[in-house]
Homo-oligomer: A and B are copies of this chain.
Amino acid sequence: MFFFTETPLSRRYPPGKLPEQRPGPAGGARARNRQQRTAALCDAALPLFLSRGLETTTVDAITQGAGVAKGSFYRYFEDKEQLVATLFAPFAEALDAALDGCAEAIEAAEGPAALFGAYEALAGDLAAAFTLNPEVVRLYLQEHRGPDEGARRPIRTLASRVREGAISLTEAAHARALLRPLPPAVTALAVVGAVEAILAAALEGELAFDPPSVIQSLVDMMLKGVAAD
């Protein structure tokens, strides 16, 4: 029954940097240790990124937080950018899966009911991805419009995928006459922006409503604003 006790794959951080000649056997001491150290560094970095900002957080602060020596950081990561990429990898993977799944479901859908079902499934998948590690989502919301430089690059890449995915799904809905005759890009970006703003406020504890009722209101509002009659 070991597979029940394993962390779900999508929560696991991938390795950042691998040794050339002797990475060690899978499941061996080195692999286990690598996983543990990688996770310790990422988990120590995340709250620091949130409280001080991505660029102003130092490698020293991260290693101190993780309780390891500075040299260890550079054994497991090339630099801060690679750590950030690692930190976002599980979320990025879940997001891609959700977007791809929705695109396929739309492709296969026959009637409007199946189409709405595809979007509903997407919303559910996204909610699950957010719940996986909400702090990572907070970091995304905090940094995703900053300059595409250095450690922020992986976040900007993710932001591009979000925008492009939203636009392409909106175009699919538009092509099936599910939406009012507005430019799909405008519709998509407005919806993404609205969701992100609500999400940011909710994650900061600035919304005095329980999540289900907020989601209900948001979906209601967006359908009215965006969907064809």
Q: Which residues of A contact B (CB under 8 A)?
A: 50-53, 55-56, 141-143, 145-147, 149-150, 152, 163, 180, 182-183, 185-187, 189-198, 200-201, 206-209, 213-214, 217-218, 220-226
Copies of this chain held together in the complex: 2
Min C-beta distance of A87 to chain B, whole Å: 17
Most chain B CB within 10 A, of A145, A190, A192, A209, is at: A190
Known: A142-B147, A147-B52. A198 touches B224 (CB 8 A): no
Residues of B within 8 A of A200 (CB): 145, 193
CB pair B217–A225 under 8 Å, yes or no, is: no
Seed contacts A52-B149, A193-B193; 11 additional CB < 8 Å A-B pairs: A51-B147, A51-B149, A56-B149, A143-B146, A145-B145, A163-B206, A180-B220, A186-B207, A186-B209, A186-B214, A187-B221
